[in-house]
Amino acid sequence: MRVQYTLPGFLPAESPPSEALEPAGSPFLGRLQSLPLPRTLNWKSLLHLDEDPSDPTSIDPPPRPASLDFRDPVSERWNWTKMLSRLLAVSASQSSQLPANNADRAIGRMLTMLTDFREAEDFIAARYLAETEE
């Protein structure tokens, strides 16, 4: 059995040259000629390997949210006192309901330390105000 691999009328030798298919004033050819040639890049710049890698030292910090705008020290101390009082109230209500475990003891120690810190801060602020009034 003989297999014919070409179709009659479509033999490769019989195909006309490509210039004969397109008219001389082809609009597509004009578009190809007007496109800028791509800039030749080497493979390192094409893959961006010539740029410095981004690491924490080369990246700027994120913008500060509007909710964290700087306030005066008095309002900061007031917010700090309210937050700590809220946490102490929640901790006191939870500790009376459940038996203490290691995490609850650690939270209690942290709140005790924060309370001591707040008292020391209050003492320093009161002493500063007393010195400025004299």
Query: Mind listing the pLDDT tens digit for each residue in 44-89?
Result: 887 878 877 777 777 787 887 777 766 777 788 888 889 899 988 8
Q: Which residues contact 121 (CB under 8 A, 6 or more apart)?
A: 77
pTM of the model: 0.42
Distance CA 77, CA 71 (A): 10
Q: What is the pLDDT of residue 116?
A: 92
* pLDDT above 80 (res 19): no
Is 99 or 23 the better-scoring residue by pLDDT?
A: 99
Q: What is the pLDDT of residue 24?
A: 60
* pLDDT above 80 (res 9): no
